[in-house]
Chains A and B, each alone.
Chain A
């Protein structure tokens, strides 16, 4: 598979005010991430809140410029593509279908807006494309002239998907697309996303904290912790044989609906560290059940091999860069 999007040493920091008389501090939301998104894959990005997964998503969409590093789309720097050029090829679906749709526009005009902005077709052609797209996401034509408030959460998320796909993008970045939905609606949306992927040959970046959903839908998984990717692997390999202790803890905390198994002990301490004041060395070391003496002082290098990538002292050092 060829890389469609490549992120090179991506970093994004924010200046955070700490109160009236204190100075500002720098928060490294994304801290040196390099990864590629391959044609046709579903790359899941998982991690706890505050790990930087949404910041990474916004950068991949071109909505937020990186502080350092670069993103290329088929070898071309996305800065040279411009906002519109980027929007033609990479589109988002956000978490909350209640706040991501303009309440004062009809469904048809919400879905047609990207076409309008890009000056595609006449009004009649746009209407036709919109109706076709709504049909593809399972919304009959009678929904076209309704308003978001008349729709259920699942129907709204279908509208958000139709809006993302109407430009025929290659990549769709889904940021927690089902976490605001009930389980019976979630399964409908996941089925729809999988159908559309096959039909339209789409590539997904799928951000989620729900590991059962990730295991179901993703082909590759990147695990983030405090702004870094700590493990990256094919889905099956990651769930079968996780290498990073953090990945192990994450997988252990998944509550599958199997009665009698009880509630697992993750072995993690309670506290997710303060991202403003990250631990020295490996950022995971204070919570790590398998830490080594050097973990508190030396940042582990990322080891890339045929199985993916892992940043942990338990898994050796990468050869020094030449």
Chain B
């Protein structure tokens, strides 16, 4: 067992509320998880389930209309849930960093990639520009960019989508972070490039012992890269567990439904019917009661009107359902 000092990120009871014209939207509702050194946790879920809001809350980058609360939001043992701006600024981009989905909008088009790569390093590490450039060249090489020194003088528009995403990864690694949050890092890319970028991320994460939170809607990515998986639905983590256990024996009806929805060669009959999850995601505006999946669940009962219990197996597989095993 890993000892507690290995825990890089520990979240207990995180909620994010967003003020809207129609009332308060409970985007993230009381979620808890932790990530260890060298571990990859995937947050998976469909649009609007709160997975991106969770990552923005950790990085303290929430939009103005959103407020977060948490019993504990600890990075490397230090509770940041009530930390001030300056403390967050000292950590963000330094010991904790983030890769965004769309490298086209996350890079500044008016600065060379060299400028953008060295900025945080000079700031956080009090390094000279020459030292920072040296590290940038080293990291660009590491993420597989040829003639890295030359690339430093280029602008984002001169690079392809795959190269820009590699630059984003290099940038996130500049200060040697202990925590890396990657929000849909390959969604905008072609499948061939996606495989390469994920391989690269996984290799670097292993090599550098980074704790990684990878956010995606793609169960294929999850199965291949995650050590543990947390499935989000309507702002809650409805199931969490080791990857193999979660895919081979999903416990929550939503997870089971999601896995049934995707065509898998050999499992689904070509041209046959795919599984469906009937209905739509409930509104998270105002008070949300009971199991949020009950309206779409084929196994729903009267008892689902109350908050479902959290069940747990010995291997740390947890789910929120009135059923011991819905399969």
Contact = CB atoms under 8 A, between A and B. Distances in A.
A253 to B, nearest CB: 4
A265 to B, nearest CB: 7
Contact of A216 (B217, B271, B275, B276): B271
Contacts of B221: 255
Given A257-B264, A271-B160, A263 B277 contact: no
A236 B270 contact: yes
Interface stretch (A57-65, A71-79, A205-213): A205-213
Interface in B227-243: 243
A215 B217 contact: no
Interface stretch (B50-58, B125-133, B194-202, B318-326): B194-202
B163 interface: yes
Interface in A212-233: 212-213, 215-217, 219
A262 interface: yes
Interface residues of B, number: 50
Interface stretch (A115-123, A166-174, A187-195): A187-195
B144 interface: yes
Nearest to A182: B46
Interface string B255-272: 001111111110010110
B274 A257 contact: no
Given A260-B244, A263-B199, A183 B262 contact: yes
A219 B270 CA distance: 9
Contacts of A301: none
Contact of A259 (B192, B196, B244, B257): B244
Contacts of B219: 183, 257
B256 to A, nearest CB: 12
Contacts of B162: 270-272
Nearest to B244: A259
Interface in A240-279: 249-250, 252-266, 268, 270-272
A191 B163 contact: no
A253 B224 CA distance: 12
A158 to B, nearest CB: 13
Contacts of A317: none
A59 B247 CA distance: 42
Interface residues of A, number: 46
Most interface-central of A152, A187, A254, A265 (chain B CB within 10 A)? A187
A235 interface: yes
A261 B199 CA distance: 12
Consensus secondary structure, chain A interface: loop
A278 to B, nearest CB: 15
B270 A257 contact: no
B258 A239 contact: no
A135 interface: no
B261 A184 contact: yes
Interface string B270-284: 110111110010000
A48 interface: yes
Given A253-B192, A259-B247, A268-B192, A187 B274 contact: yes
B160 A187 contact: no
A13 interface: no
A210 B187 CA distance: 12
Interface of A: 48-49, 152-153, 182-184, 186-188, 190-191, 194, 209-213, 215-217, 219, 235-236, 239, 249-250, 252-266, 268, 270-272
28 contacts: A182-B217, A183-B219, A184-B257, A187-B274, A190-B274, A191-B274, A209-B190, A212-B262, A216-B268, A216-B270, A216-B274, A219-B271, A239-B265, A252-B195, A253-B195, A255-B198, A256-B223, A256-B264, A259-B224, A259-B244, A261-B224, A262-B224, A264-B195, A265-B199, A268-B192, A270-B163, A270-B166, A272-B160
Given A190-B274, A259-B247, 7 more contacts: A182-B217, A183-B46, A183-B261, A217-B271, A255-B224, A261-B224, A262-B224
Interface of B: 46-47, 144-145, 160-163, 166, 190-196, 198-199, 202, 217-225, 243-244, 247-248, 257-265, 268, 270-271, 273-277, 280
